[in-house]
C-alpha cells in the first residue's frame, strides 16, 4: 500500500491558473457528447479552459450540446470537422464509436499531438479492435472512477471524483503536467497509477460485478426470498435496498466496512463473519470466471459482436424498460417518491 501512496498524484496541488497555463497552447476537443464527454466538456468550459466539442450532427446529443450553450461553427463541430485543428483529443465516443472512427481519426494523430482516453478498451484488445497507437504522440488514460453524471454533479457541488491514470507514451516529456492539468479541468482529484490492461480488466470486471450486475443480483435475490416467505413489497425493499443505500452505504463510504461494523448492533456483528464466509465461497468462483472472460478477450469479442447489431439501442431500451417494471424496482419508484415528498416539506 505504501508503494501506491508514494505514486498518487494530487492534481489539485497545482492551481487552476497553472493548469490553464500548461494547456494554453493546446486546442482541446472532446470527441463525443455522451455521458462522459458531456461532463468533461462542461467541467473544462466552466473552469475557463478553451475547449470545443465534436459530435455527430443532427443527433439528439448535438441538440443537447446546443441547448447547453455550445455554438455550432464556433465550439461545436461535426466529428469529422473537429479532427484537423485540434492538438489535444479527449476521445470519449462509445467503445463501438471509437473503433468505428479510428481509421479516419488516427490520420490526425500527428507527431506532438496528445490523445487522452477515459477507458483503454480499444487499446487493450488489439486483435479484436485493430487499434494501435501511432508513434511520436503523447498518449494518456485518465479514467474517472464514476459515471459522467456523478462527475458533473460532484463538480457542481465542488466535490471531485478520483481517477486511475496511465501514461502510455510521453514523447514531449510533459505528459505528467498535461495529465494533472486535465484532471483538474475535468473534475477529478487524486490520481492513482495503473496500467492499460489493469485499468480495462478492473473496469469491465467491476461493472459486471459489484458495481452494477453483481449488486443488482444480490438485491433481487434477497428481495425475492423475502417476498417468497410472505414479506410485503415495501418491507422487502426497505430491508434489501433502501437501508443499504440510504443508511449503511454512507458509513462504508466514510471509513470502510469496519466502520460500518462498528456502528451496527452486536446481533448484526455476530452474523457478519460466518455469513460473509458463506457468501465468499459461493461468489468467488463467479468472479474468477468473470475475470478470466475479461482477461482472455472473450468478453471484448462478445461486446464488439453485439455492438454491430443495428437494432442494439432499440433492443437495450426495451430490455431496460422491462427490467424497470419488475416488482422490486417498481416498489423502489414508490419509495423514491416518498423521499422526494419528504424533502419538499
Tell me which residues are annotated as active site. 119
Q: Which three cell numbers stand for residue 271?
A: 452474523
Which secondary-structure segment (H or E) carries 249?
helix 249-255
Around Cβ 280, how many Cβ atoms within 10 Å? 10
42: CB partners within 8 A, 6+ apart: 68, 152
Q: What is the DSSP string of 159-222?
A: --EEEEEEEEE-SSS-HHHHHHHHHHHHTEEEEEE--HHHHHHHHHHHHHTTTTHHHHHHHHHH
Report the number of secondary-structure helices (H) and strands (E) in the chain. Answer: 20, 9
Residue 173, sorted as left (phi over 0), alpha (psi -120 to 50) or beta, turns out to be left
Q: Which three cell numbers stand for residue 144?
A: 474517472
Mapping DSSP to helix (H, G, I), strand (E, B) and coil, where does residue 53 land?
strand
138: CB partners within 8 A, 6+ apart: 113, 114, 115, 169, 170, 171, 172, 174, 175, 178
Within its chain, how far is the Cα of 323 from the centroid? Answer: 22
Amino acid at each position: 500500500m505504501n508503494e501506491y501512496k508514494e505514486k498518487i498524484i494530487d492534481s489539485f496541488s497545482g492551481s487552476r491558473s497553472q493548469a490553464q497555463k500548461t494547456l494554453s497552447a493546446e486546442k482541446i476537443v472532446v470527441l463525443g457528447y455522451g455521458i462522459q464527454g458531456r461532463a468533461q466538456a462542461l467541467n473544462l468550459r466552466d473552469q475557463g479552459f478553451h475547449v470545443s466539442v465534436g459530435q455527430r450532427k443532427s443527433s439528439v446529443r448535438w441538440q443537447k450540446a446546443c441547448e447547453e450553450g455550445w455554438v455550432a461553427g464556433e465550439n461545436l463541430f461535426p466529428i469529422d470537422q473537429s479532427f484537423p485543428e485540434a492538438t489535444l483529443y479527449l476521445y470519449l465516443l462509445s467503445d463501438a464509436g471509437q473503433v468505428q472512427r479510428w481509421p479516419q481519426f488516427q490520420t490526425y494523430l500527428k507527431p506532438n499531438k496528445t490523445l487522452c482516453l477515459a477507458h483503454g478498451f480499444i487499446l487493450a484488445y488489439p486483435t479484436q479492435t485493430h487499434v494501435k497507437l501511432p508513434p511520436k504522440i503523447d498518449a494518456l488514460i485518465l479514467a474517472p472512477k464514476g459515471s459522467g453524471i456523478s462527475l458533473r454533479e460532484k463538480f457542481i457541488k465542488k466535490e471531485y471524483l478520483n481517477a486511475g491514470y496511465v501514461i502510455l507514451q510521453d514523447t514531449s516529456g510533459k505528459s505528467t503536467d498535461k495529465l494533472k492539468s486535465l484532471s483538474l479541468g475535468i473534475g477529478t482529484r487524486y490520481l492513482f497509477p495503473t496500467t492499460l490492461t489493469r485499468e480495462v480488466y478492473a473496469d469491465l470486471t467491476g461493472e459486471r460485478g459489484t458495481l452494477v450486475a453483481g449488486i443488482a443480483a444480490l438485491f433481487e435475490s434477497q428481495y425475492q426470498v423475502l417476498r417468497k416467505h410472505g414479506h410485503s413489497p415495501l418491507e422487502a425493499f426497505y430491508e434489501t435496498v433502501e437501508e443499504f443505500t440510504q443508511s449503511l452505504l454512507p458509513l462504508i463510504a466514510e471509513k470502510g466496512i469496519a466502520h460500518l461494523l462498528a456502528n451496527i448492533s452486536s446481533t448484526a456483528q455476530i452474523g457478519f463473519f460466518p455469513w460473509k464466509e458463506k457468501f465468499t465461497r459461493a461468489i468467488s468462483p463467479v468472479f474468477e470466471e468473470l475475470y478470466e472472460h475479461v482477461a482472455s478477450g472473450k468478453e471484448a469479442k462478445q461486446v464488439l459482436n453485439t455492438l454491430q447489431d443495428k437494432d442494439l439501442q432499440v433492443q437495450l431500451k426495451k430490455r431496460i424498460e422491462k427490467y424497470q417494471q419488475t416488482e422490486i424496482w417498481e416498489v423502489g419508484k414508490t419509495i423514491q417518491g416518498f423521499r422526494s415528498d419528504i424533502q419538499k416539506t
